[in-house]
Amino acid sequence: MRKLFLLSLIALLPLGLIPVNASYAAGANKVIYHVNLGNEQATDALRNIQNHLAVDPTAKIVVVTHSAGVDFLLEGAEDKNGNLYSGPVAALAAKGVEFRVCKITLERRKIDPKKVIPEAKLVPSGVVEVTKLQQEGYAYLKP
Amino acid sequence: MSNEEQKFSDEFINAFVDDQLTPEEKAQVYAHLSGNEALNRQICELRKVRDMVQLAYKEPPLPERGMASFAAAGRKYAVGLVAGLALVIVGGMGGWFLHQPRAPQDAAVAQVMSNPEEPAKVLFHVSDGNTEHLKSVLDDVEDLMKYYRRLHQKARVEVITNGEGLSLLLAGISPFAERIQKMQKEYHGLTFVACQNTIDRYQEELGLTAKLLPGVVTIDSGVAQIMRRQHEGWVYLQV
Protein backbone atom coordinates (compact mmCIF):
# COMPACT_ATOMS: atom_id res chain seq x y z
CA MET A 1 0.00 0.00 0.00
CA ARG A 2 2.87 2.26 0.78
CA LYS A 3 3.96 1.63 -2.75
CA LEU A 4 0.58 2.82 -4.04
CA PHE A 5 0.85 6.10 -2.19
CA LEU A 6 4.32 6.58 -3.46
CA LEU A 7 3.16 5.89 -6.99
CA SER A 8 0.28 8.32 -6.75
CA LEU A 9 2.64 10.93 -5.35
CA ILE A 10 5.10 10.34 -8.15
CA ALA A 11 2.23 10.66 -10.62
CA LEU A 12 1.46 14.05 -9.12
CA LEU A 13 4.95 15.45 -9.24
CA PRO A 14 4.94 16.68 -12.83
CA LEU A 15 1.49 18.17 -12.36
CA GLY A 16 2.73 20.69 -9.89
CA LEU A 17 0.35 19.82 -7.06
CA ILE A 18 3.02 19.69 -4.41
CA PRO A 19 4.27 23.27 -4.23
CA VAL A 20 7.73 22.48 -2.97
CA ASN A 21 8.32 20.14 -5.88
CA ALA A 22 6.75 22.53 -8.32
CA SER A 23 9.19 25.28 -7.46
CA TYR A 24 12.02 22.77 -7.41
CA ALA A 25 11.12 21.57 -10.88
CA ALA A 26 10.88 25.13 -12.19
CA GLY A 27 14.42 25.96 -11.06
CA ALA A 28 15.98 22.53 -11.03
CA ASN A 29 17.62 22.56 -14.40
CA LYS A 30 18.52 26.23 -14.78
CA VAL A 31 22.20 26.59 -14.01
CA ILE A 32 24.84 29.32 -14.03
CA TYR A 33 28.44 28.37 -14.69
CA HIS A 34 30.53 31.21 -13.26
CA VAL A 35 33.90 31.69 -15.01
CA ASN A 36 36.19 34.47 -13.78
CA LEU A 37 39.59 32.84 -13.28
CA GLY A 38 40.91 32.26 -16.79
CA ASN A 39 41.32 29.67 -19.51
CA GLU A 40 42.17 26.72 -17.29
CA GLN A 41 38.88 27.17 -15.44
CA ALA A 42 37.09 27.67 -18.77
CA THR A 43 38.40 24.30 -20.01
CA ASP A 44 36.98 22.66 -16.88
CA ALA A 45 33.71 24.50 -17.35
CA LEU A 46 33.29 23.36 -20.97
CA ARG A 47 33.96 19.74 -19.97
CA ASN A 48 31.55 19.99 -17.02
CA ILE A 49 28.85 21.41 -19.26
CA GLN A 50 29.27 18.67 -21.87
CA ASN A 51 28.83 16.08 -19.12
CA HIS A 52 25.98 18.06 -17.61
CA LEU A 53 24.07 18.05 -20.91
CA ALA A 54 24.82 14.36 -21.46
CA VAL A 55 23.04 13.62 -18.19
CA ASP A 56 20.33 16.27 -18.49
CA PRO A 57 19.86 17.42 -22.09
CA THR A 58 17.02 19.74 -21.05
CA ALA A 59 19.22 21.78 -18.68
CA LYS A 60 19.19 25.52 -19.35
CA ILE A 61 22.80 26.54 -18.96
CA VAL A 62 24.19 30.07 -18.92
CA VAL A 63 27.93 30.66 -18.72
CA VAL A 64 28.64 34.05 -17.16
CA THR A 65 32.18 35.38 -17.57
CA HIS A 66 34.10 38.35 -16.22
CA SER A 67 37.67 39.31 -15.23
CA ALA A 68 40.13 36.75 -16.65
CA GLY A 69 37.16 34.51 -17.41
CA VAL A 70 36.34 36.38 -20.64
CA ASP A 71 39.60 35.32 -22.37
CA PHE A 72 38.38 32.03 -23.83
CA LEU A 73 35.52 33.82 -25.60
CA LEU A 74 37.82 36.09 -27.61
CA GLU A 75 38.65 35.41 -31.29
CA GLY A 76 41.55 33.01 -31.69
CA ALA A 77 41.69 31.94 -28.02
CA GLU A 78 43.40 28.56 -27.59
CA ASP A 79 43.64 26.12 -24.71
CA LYS A 80 46.99 24.88 -23.41
CA ASN A 81 47.06 22.15 -26.06
CA GLY A 82 46.69 24.72 -28.82
CA ASN A 83 43.05 23.90 -29.62
CA LEU A 84 40.71 26.77 -30.39
CA TYR A 85 38.01 27.34 -27.80
CA SER A 86 35.60 28.53 -30.47
CA GLY A 87 34.93 24.93 -31.63
CA PRO A 88 33.56 23.48 -28.38
CA VAL A 89 31.89 26.80 -27.55
CA ALA A 90 30.00 26.82 -30.87
CA ALA A 91 29.01 23.16 -30.35
CA LEU A 92 27.57 23.95 -26.91
CA ALA A 93 25.90 27.12 -28.17
CA ALA A 94 24.15 24.99 -30.81
CA LYS A 95 22.73 22.93 -27.96
CA GLY A 96 21.29 26.05 -26.35
CA VAL A 97 24.07 26.96 -23.92
CA GLU A 98 24.41 30.74 -23.58
CA PHE A 99 27.72 32.53 -23.11
CA ARG A 100 27.74 36.00 -21.60
CA VAL A 101 30.64 38.42 -21.40
CA CYS A 102 31.00 41.32 -18.96
CA LYS A 103 31.21 44.74 -20.63
CA ILE A 104 32.88 46.33 -17.62
CA THR A 105 35.72 43.81 -17.93
CA LEU A 106 36.20 44.65 -21.62
CA GLU A 107 36.33 48.36 -20.82
CA ARG A 108 38.68 47.90 -17.87
CA ARG A 109 41.02 45.65 -19.83
CA LYS A 110 40.68 47.74 -23.00
CA ILE A 111 39.53 44.79 -25.10
CA ASP A 112 37.69 45.65 -28.32
CA PRO A 113 34.15 44.18 -28.06
CA LYS A 114 34.53 43.11 -31.70
CA LYS A 115 37.07 40.53 -30.54
CA VAL A 116 34.36 38.63 -28.66
CA ILE A 117 33.25 35.59 -30.70
CA PRO A 118 29.73 35.79 -32.16
CA GLU A 119 28.41 32.91 -29.98
CA ALA A 120 28.86 35.08 -26.88
CA LYS A 121 26.62 37.97 -25.87
CA LEU A 122 27.70 41.12 -24.04
CA VAL A 123 26.05 41.98 -20.72
CA PRO A 124 26.56 45.23 -18.77
CA SER A 125 28.16 43.42 -15.80
CA GLY A 126 29.07 39.78 -15.18
CA VAL A 127 28.61 40.05 -11.42
CA VAL A 128 25.19 41.66 -11.78
CA GLU A 129 24.26 38.94 -14.30
CA VAL A 130 25.13 36.17 -11.82
CA THR A 131 23.11 38.00 -9.17
CA LYS A 132 20.06 38.43 -11.37
CA LEU A 133 20.05 34.85 -12.61
CA GLN A 134 20.24 33.51 -9.04
CA GLN A 135 17.27 35.67 -8.14
CA GLU A 136 15.44 34.10 -11.08
CA GLY A 137 16.04 30.68 -9.56
CA TYR A 138 19.20 29.60 -11.37
CA ALA A 139 21.51 27.30 -9.43
CA TYR A 140 25.11 28.49 -9.12
CA LEU A 141 28.07 26.36 -10.12
CA LYS A 142 31.71 27.35 -9.94
CA PRO A 143 33.87 25.01 -12.02
CA MET B 1 51.50 10.09 15.30
CA SER B 2 51.45 10.29 19.07
CA ASN B 3 49.91 7.69 21.35
CA GLU B 4 47.41 10.18 22.56
CA GLU B 5 45.73 10.27 19.18
CA GLN B 6 45.20 6.53 19.36
CA LYS B 7 43.52 6.72 22.74
CA PHE B 8 40.11 7.76 21.46
CA SER B 9 38.20 5.95 18.76
CA ASP B 10 36.37 7.93 16.08
CA GLU B 11 33.05 6.90 17.62
CA PHE B 12 34.20 8.23 20.96
CA ILE B 13 35.25 11.58 19.50
CA ASN B 14 32.02 11.85 17.54
CA ALA B 15 30.08 11.16 20.72
CA PHE B 16 32.06 13.93 22.39
CA VAL B 17 31.21 16.40 19.63
CA ASP B 18 27.54 15.38 19.82
CA ASP B 19 27.60 15.82 23.60
CA GLN B 20 26.72 12.20 24.30
CA LEU B 21 29.48 11.34 26.76
CA THR B 22 29.28 11.08 30.54
CA PRO B 23 30.92 13.91 32.48
CA GLU B 24 33.85 11.58 33.34
CA GLU B 25 34.43 10.67 29.72
CA LYS B 26 34.22 14.32 28.72
CA ALA B 27 36.78 15.23 31.34
CA GLN B 28 39.09 12.62 29.81
CA VAL B 29 38.85 14.29 26.42
CA TYR B 30 39.33 17.77 27.84
CA ALA B 31 42.43 16.57 29.68
CA HIS B 32 43.98 15.52 26.37
CA LEU B 33 42.79 18.47 24.35
CA SER B 34 45.27 20.97 25.76
CA GLY B 35 48.36 19.03 24.68
CA ASN B 36 47.14 17.48 21.46
CA GLU B 37 46.84 19.70 18.44
CA ALA B 38 45.75 16.96 16.05
CA LEU B 39 42.92 15.98 18.34
CA ASN B 40 41.99 19.63 18.69
CA ARG B 41 41.74 20.03 14.97
CA GLN B 42 39.82 16.79 14.51
CA ILE B 43 37.21 17.98 16.99
CA CYS B 44 37.08 21.42 15.43
CA GLU B 45 36.46 19.88 11.99
CA LEU B 46 33.74 17.59 13.34
CA ARG B 47 32.03 20.53 15.00
CA LYS B 48 32.13 22.43 11.75
CA VAL B 49 30.55 19.50 9.90
CA ARG B 50 27.93 19.14 12.62
CA ASP B 51 27.06 22.84 12.40
CA MET B 52 26.79 22.65 8.65
CA VAL B 53 24.56 19.59 8.79
CA GLN B 54 22.34 21.29 11.34
CA LEU B 55 22.10 24.36 9.15
CA ALA B 56 21.30 22.26 6.12
CA TYR B 57 18.44 20.56 7.95
CA LYS B 58 17.07 23.58 9.73
CA GLU B 59 14.18 23.54 7.28
CA PRO B 60 12.93 19.96 7.31
CA PRO B 61 12.47 18.44 3.87
CA LEU B 62 8.83 19.01 2.99
CA PRO B 63 8.13 16.16 0.58
CA GLU B 64 8.92 13.55 3.25
CA ARG B 65 6.55 15.16 5.68
CA GLY B 66 3.84 15.14 3.06
CA MET B 67 4.45 11.50 2.35
CA ALA B 68 4.33 10.57 6.02
CA SER B 69 0.97 12.24 6.51
CA PHE B 70 -0.45 10.62 3.40
CA ALA B 71 0.78 7.25 4.60
CA ALA B 72 -0.76 7.80 8.01
CA ALA B 73 -4.06 8.92 6.54
CA GLY B 74 -4.99 5.70 4.79
CA ARG B 75 -4.84 2.34 6.48
CA LYS B 76 -6.82 0.14 4.14
CA TYR B 77 -6.07 -0.72 0.57
CA ALA B 78 -9.45 0.55 -0.69
CA VAL B 79 -9.02 3.85 1.07
CA GLY B 80 -5.57 4.06 -0.41
CA LEU B 81 -6.82 3.37 -3.91
CA VAL B 82 -9.58 5.97 -3.69
CA ALA B 83 -7.25 8.49 -2.14
CA GLY B 84 -4.67 7.78 -4.79
CA LEU B 85 -7.15 8.27 -7.61
CA ALA B 86 -8.55 11.40 -6.02
CA LEU B 87 -5.03 12.75 -5.69
CA VAL B 88 -4.30 12.09 -9.32
CA ILE B 89 -7.48 13.92 -10.36
CA VAL B 90 -7.01 16.82 -7.95
CA GLY B 91 -3.35 16.88 -8.85
CA GLY B 92 -4.14 17.09 -12.52
CA MET B 93 -6.50 19.98 -11.93
CA GLY B 94 -4.13 21.61 -9.50
CA GLY B 95 -1.30 21.23 -11.94
CA TRP B 96 -3.43 22.72 -14.68
CA PHE B 97 -4.32 25.76 -12.63
CA LEU B 98 -0.85 26.18 -11.22
CA HIS B 99 0.66 26.18 -14.66
CA GLN B 100 -1.58 28.95 -15.95
CA PRO B 101 -0.46 31.90 -13.85
CA ARG B 102 3.25 31.26 -14.19
CA ALA B 103 4.00 34.41 -16.12
CA PRO B 104 2.29 36.82 -13.70
CA GLN B 105 3.99 35.01 -10.81
CA ASP B 106 7.38 35.61 -12.35
CA ALA B 107 6.48 39.22 -12.94
CA ALA B 108 5.60 39.56 -9.26
CA VAL B 109 8.96 38.09 -8.28
CA ALA B 110 10.76 40.49 -10.58
CA GLN B 111 8.90 43.36 -8.98
CA VAL B 112 9.95 42.33 -5.48
CA MET B 113 13.55 42.08 -6.65
CA SER B 114 13.64 45.55 -8.08
CA ASN B 115 11.90 47.11 -5.09
CA PRO B 116 14.47 49.64 -3.87
CA GLU B 117 13.22 49.26 -0.29
CA GLU B 118 14.08 45.56 -0.32
CA PRO B 119 17.89 45.46 -0.16
CA ALA B 120 19.80 43.28 -2.60
CA LYS B 121 21.90 40.82 -0.61
CA VAL B 122 25.08 39.57 -2.20
CA LEU B 123 27.90 37.44 -0.84
CA PHE B 124 31.41 37.36 -2.30
CA HIS B 125 33.51 34.42 -1.14
CA VAL B 126 37.27 34.95 -1.39
CA SER B 127 39.61 32.03 -0.67
CA ASP B 128 42.53 32.85 -2.97
CA GLY B 129 45.28 35.22 -1.80
CA ASN B 130 46.95 36.09 -5.11
CA THR B 131 47.45 39.89 -5.27
CA GLU B 132 46.35 40.30 -8.87
CA HIS B 133 43.29 38.20 -8.17
CA LEU B 134 42.41 40.19 -5.03
CA LYS B 135 42.57 43.38 -7.05
CA SER B 136 40.03 42.07 -9.54
CA VAL B 137 37.83 40.92 -6.66
CA LEU B 138 37.81 44.47 -5.24
CA ASP B 139 37.08 45.81 -8.73
CA ASP B 140 34.10 43.46 -9.00
CA VAL B 141 32.78 44.44 -5.58
CA GLU B 142 33.17 48.14 -6.29
CA ASP B 143 31.48 47.85 -9.68
CA LEU B 144 28.52 46.13 -8.05
CA MET B 145 28.24 48.81 -5.35
CA LYS B 146 28.31 51.51 -8.03
CA TYR B 147 25.67 49.67 -10.02
CA TYR B 148 23.28 49.54 -7.07
CA ARG B 149 23.96 53.17 -6.24
CA ARG B 150 23.10 54.20 -9.80
CA LEU B 151 19.80 52.34 -9.51
CA HIS B 152 19.11 53.79 -6.04
CA GLN B 153 18.83 50.19 -4.97
CA LYS B 154 19.62 49.44 -1.33
CA ALA B 155 22.21 46.71 -1.03
CA ARG B 156 23.97 44.64 1.59
CA VAL B 157 27.17 43.11 0.33
CA GLU B 158 29.49 40.87 2.35
CA VAL B 159 33.00 39.95 1.30
CA ILE B 160 33.79 36.76 3.22
CA THR B 161 37.42 35.69 3.31
CA ASN B 162 38.81 32.38 4.46
CA GLY B 163 41.93 30.34 3.81
CA GLU B 164 44.45 32.33 1.79
CA GLY B 165 41.81 34.93 1.04
CA LEU B 166 42.20 36.20 4.61
CA SER B 167 45.37 38.03 3.52
CA LEU B 168 43.09 40.61 1.90
CA LEU B 169 42.08 41.80 5.37
CA LEU B 170 45.33 41.48 7.36
CA ALA B 171 46.93 44.71 8.56
CA GLY B 172 50.55 44.93 7.40
CA ILE B 173 50.00 42.19 4.80
CA SER B 174 47.09 43.29 2.63
CA PRO B 175 48.27 45.35 -0.35
CA PHE B 176 44.84 46.98 -0.45
CA ALA B 177 44.43 48.34 3.09
CA GLU B 178 43.84 51.91 1.95
CA ARG B 179 41.47 50.96 -0.81
CA ILE B 180 39.40 48.82 1.56
CA GLN B 181 39.16 51.67 4.05
CA LYS B 182 37.97 53.97 1.29
CA MET B 183 35.39 51.48 0.12
CA GLN B 184 34.08 50.99 3.67
CA LYS B 185 33.61 54.75 4.01
CA GLU B 186 32.02 55.10 0.61
CA TYR B 187 29.53 52.22 0.83
CA HIS B 188 27.73 51.65 4.09
CA GLY B 189 26.09 48.42 2.96
CA LEU B 190 29.49 46.82 2.39
CA THR B 191 31.08 44.59 5.04
CA PHE B 192 34.41 42.77 4.98
CA VAL B 193 34.34 39.56 6.97
CA ALA B 194 37.16 37.34 8.27
CA CYS B 195 36.84 33.69 9.29
CA GLN B 196 37.84 32.96 12.89
CA ASN B 197 38.72 29.34 12.03
CA THR B 198 41.31 30.60 9.56
CA ILE B 199 42.68 33.09 12.07
CA ASP B 200 43.04 30.29 14.63
CA ARG B 201 44.73 28.06 12.09
CA TYR B 202 47.27 30.80 11.19
CA GLN B 203 48.03 31.08 14.89
CA GLU B 204 48.45 27.32 15.37
CA GLU B 205 50.37 26.51 12.22
CA LEU B 206 52.42 29.63 11.60
CA GLY B 207 52.41 31.21 15.04
CA LEU B 208 51.00 34.28 13.33
CA THR B 209 48.68 36.52 15.30
CA ALA B 210 46.30 37.97 12.75
CA LYS B 211 45.76 41.70 13.04
CA LEU B 212 42.76 42.73 11.00
CA LEU B 213 42.17 45.99 9.16
CA PRO B 214 39.86 48.42 10.96
CA GLY B 215 36.17 47.77 10.47
CA VAL B 216 36.61 44.11 9.53
CA VAL B 217 34.08 41.79 11.17
CA THR B 218 34.97 38.26 12.31
CA ILE B 219 32.63 35.29 12.23
CA ASP B 220 33.09 31.79 13.65
CA SER B 221 33.42 29.99 10.34
CA GLY B 222 33.40 31.32 6.79
CA VAL B 223 31.82 28.14 5.46
CA ALA B 224 29.03 28.18 8.05
CA GLN B 225 28.37 31.87 7.37
CA ILE B 226 28.07 31.19 3.63
CA MET B 227 25.49 28.50 4.34
CA ARG B 228 23.56 30.75 6.74
CA ARG B 229 23.46 33.58 4.22
CA GLN B 230 22.29 31.33 1.40
CA HIS B 231 19.52 30.05 3.66
CA GLU B 232 18.54 33.67 4.22
CA GLY B 233 18.23 34.18 0.48
CA TRP B 234 21.55 35.88 -0.24
CA VAL B 235 23.04 35.58 -3.70
CA TYR B 236 26.40 33.78 -3.68
CA LEU B 237 29.48 34.34 -5.82
CA GLN B 238 32.78 32.61 -5.37
CA VAL B 239 35.40 34.96 -6.73
Q: What is the pLDDT along chain B (239 residues), one digit of tens a residue?
A: 444 445 677 777 777 667 677 666 766 766 666 556 666 666 656 665 665 555 555 444 445 444 444 444 445 455 555 555 565 555 555 555 555 444 444 444 444 455 667 899 999 999 999 999 999 999 999 999 999 999 999 999 999 999 999 999 999 999 999 999 999 999 999 999 999 999 999 999 989 899 999 999 999 999 999 999 999 999 999 99
SS3 A30: strand
Tell me the pTM. 0.64
Tell me the nearest-neighbour CA distance from B55 into chain A, angstroms.
19
Does the complex come out with an ipTM higher than 0.90? Answer: no
**Cβ-nearest to A128 among B81, B88, B147:** B147
Cβ under 8 Å to A: B residues 101-130: 102, 106, 109, 113, 120, 122
Beta bridge partners of B235: B122
The predicted structure's pLDDT at residue B177: 98
Could you give the residue ranges of the DSSP H alpha helices within chain B?
Answer: 3-7, 10-17, 23-33, 37-56, 62-73, 77-99, 102-113, 131-150, 177-186, 196-206, 222-231
Specify the 3-state DSSP secondary structure of B190. strand
Q: Is the dihedral of CA A106, A107, A111, A115 positive or negative?
A: positive
DSSP output for B125-136: EE----HHHHHH
Q: For the CA atoms of chain A, what is the radius of gyration? A: 18
- Nearest neighbour of A131 by CB, restricted to B91, B235, B238: B235
What local confidence, expressed as pLDDT, does residue B5 receive? 45
Which residues in chain B are contacts of A124 at CB distance < 8 A? 147
